Amino acid sequence: MSIKRLHNWKIPAIFAFVFILFVYFRVKPIYYQTVPYTYDQGRDFLKAEEIVRFHNPTFIGPTTGIQGVNHGVWWYYFLAMQYFIFNGNPSGFYYGVLAMMFISTLLFTIFLKKEFGNHIALLFLLIVTISPYFIGISFFAANNILAPPFVLLFIFSIYKFLQISTSFNKSPLISMSLYKYLFLIGLSLGFIFEAEMPLGLFIIPSFFVASILFKEVRSSFRKLNNLFFLILGLVLPFTFRILFEIKHNFIQTKSIIYFFKHPSATNAQGLDGILRERALLFLSYFQEIFYDNNKIIVFGAILVLGGIFICGYKRFEKLHRRLFLFFSSMILFIFLFSLSYRNNFFWDYYLEGIHYIFLFYILLLFYISTIIDTKKRLLTVILVLFSILAIFYLGKELTKQNNTPYIGLRADIKTVETVYSLVGKNDFCARIYTPPVVPYTYNYLFHYKSLQGYKVPLENPMNTMCIIIIDSDQYTFRIDEWRKTNIPVDFILEKKIVLPNNVRVEVWKQK
């Protein structure tokens, strides 16, 4: 093989190797079933089963923090696809999430490679591969996880839109491309809203306010065709919600209006407290991008990026300056709009996926460094450092003792298997105590086992015997109260099994 052909294979081989690491760091928890599995996952998996197995479609998604208002339904149909593909296997939902994150990362890497070159694309891929945040969202099955891929689509669409807007070519073909990217901007914003409503409530007005500040964007809205494609993209993700609203007399619209007209706050904080809390939250978003949330790496990154900004801002090309200022304006407005929410808690997932905007800042600045340093020495050093971190992380994973923790999905599957080891494929009674009251987690696993010929338990005692499942709870008095109302007085304990996660499986029989 010639040296030239070897060089041609070198770059794809490096990218392929990093993508292998990307999958490896994420697939282990799914394979060993130690992924998070809580009330929300059980509820959502049951809804996916309803759609596929029982042919019961729905127009609305999971509940939000606003009473009477729900997230969009697309999460349920995404889960329904995984239910169909994996025949209800609970691990299948997590593999589906991983596949979605892999594909979105692959596509964005290809985009960066084309627009910014191999170095920037590889830097993005390395950071995402070993970032604790980006690893975590790759096997977390919840509605908000749909938002990050659409944040990437939003960044891509804004880039292409501004690229066309700042060009001097005004041919009909360019106009059609403009329509396409305006449509994708609207589509991504609509899906972000439907995936995680709080982020949507903040990012959509931030986009429109920021757009007013930029001539290229503002002027495009004056043309009805441009505005039509933007609004069309924005409205399409709301199709199911609109149908739901029409059917239910606009119940959610009324709830949202009431929420904003009569805002309620739990232990509302003053402006000083809110400002401090949000500033720390946004700083944590930046910190979570980097390996192991390492403060030294974060501090070093801030110093390097600050130096690049000071030395290179005047060398920004028009497009990149517009991108930097536009996303800076959006982040500022998202921050300011978030201050309107004054509850004493503001969950970090309310702004799920905003990390990608911070990461795009980093990539833009390192791209500017290649204009200052045409030999890309600084960027090469940064790539080497992140490559070392990736190899170090791989070494930690390979040398880690393979003691699979008894947590998450694995623990609940073992509990259900313990129950069936006692009752076989016969009809049986089961009553379940879990701190969230409704045992969706166990209910879904029982339904999944029914596909293999096992019975779904009934609550009424069968054959004078009943299985009692008690989840661990630090408030033991709640377990005591539950026992009084759920175990018949004429039943006695015949057998008790305590599992490693302190869940108790008990067999009670009539005296």
More confident position, 171 or 320: 320
Is the domain of 119 the same as that of 13? yes
Is the domain of 282 the same as that of 236? yes
Q: Return the pLDDT at 345.
A: 66
Q: Return the pLDDT at 2.
A: 46
Question: What confidence tens digit (pLDDT) does each residue in 435-444 have?
Answer: 988 999 999 9
**Given pLDDT bands bounded at 50, 70 and 90, which one contains residue 402?**
confident
Is the domain of 330 the same as that of 463? no
Strands laid side by side in the 465-470 sheet:
430-433, 465-470, 504-510, 491-498
Q: Return the pLDDT at 224.
A: 87
Asked which of 399, 421, 447 is the last residue of a domain, the reply is 399
Question: What confidence tens digit (pLDDT) does each residue in 345-381 have?
Answer: 677 888 999 999 999 999 999 999 988 888 889 999 9
* CATH number of the domain within which 455 lies: 3.30.110
Name the helix (H) or strand (E) containing 388. Answer: helix 377-399
The stretch 163-188 carries a mean pLDDT of 82
Is the domain of 278 the same as that of 414? no
Q: Return the pLDDT at 255.
A: 81
Is the domain of 263 the same as that of 281? yes
Is the domain of 390 the same as that of 313? yes
Asked which of 338, 366, 399 is the last residue of a domain, the reply is 399
Q: Return the pLDDT at 181.
A: 95
Is residue 137 exposed (0-12), middle (13-18) or buried (19+ Cβ within 10 Å)?
buried
Is the domain of 216 the same as that of 295? yes
Q: Which parts of 248-317 fold into alpha helices (H)?
A: 251-261, 271-287, 295-312
Q: Of 509, 511, 433, nearest to 472 (Cα)?
A: 433
Residue 8: which domain range?
Answer: 3-399
Neighbours of 177 (CB within 10 A): 16
More confident position, 395 or 168: 395
Question: What confidence tens digit (pLDDT) does each residue in 135-145 have?
Answer: 999 999 999 99
Q: What's the gap between Cα 397 and its chain centre?
A: 23
Is the domain of 424 the same as that of 389? no
Is the domain of 20 the same as that of 130? yes
* % of residues, the chain, pLDDT over 90: 69
Q: Return the pLDDT at 266.
A: 59
Rg (CA), the chain: 26
Phi, psi (degrees; rounded to nearest 5) at 214: -115, 120
Question: What confidence tens digit (pLDDT) does each residue in 12-29 have?
Answer: 999 999 999 999 999 999
Question: Distances from the Cα of 36 to the Cαs of 16, 90, 194, 409, in angstroms?
Answer: 28, 11, 22, 6
Count of the separate structural domains present in the chain = 2
Asked which of 352, 376, 399 is the last residue of a domain, the reply is 399
Is the domain of 91 the same as that of 234? yes
Residue 264 has pLDDT above 90, yes or no: no
Is the domain of 415 the same as that of 393? no
Question: What confidence tens digit (pLDDT) does each residue in 201-248 have?
Answer: 999 999 999 999 988 788 888 888 889 999 999 999 999 999 999 988
**Given pLDDT bands bounded at 50, 70 and 90, which one contains residue 274?**
confident
The stretch 304-329 carries a mean pLDDT of 89
Is the domain of 142 the same as that of 57? yes
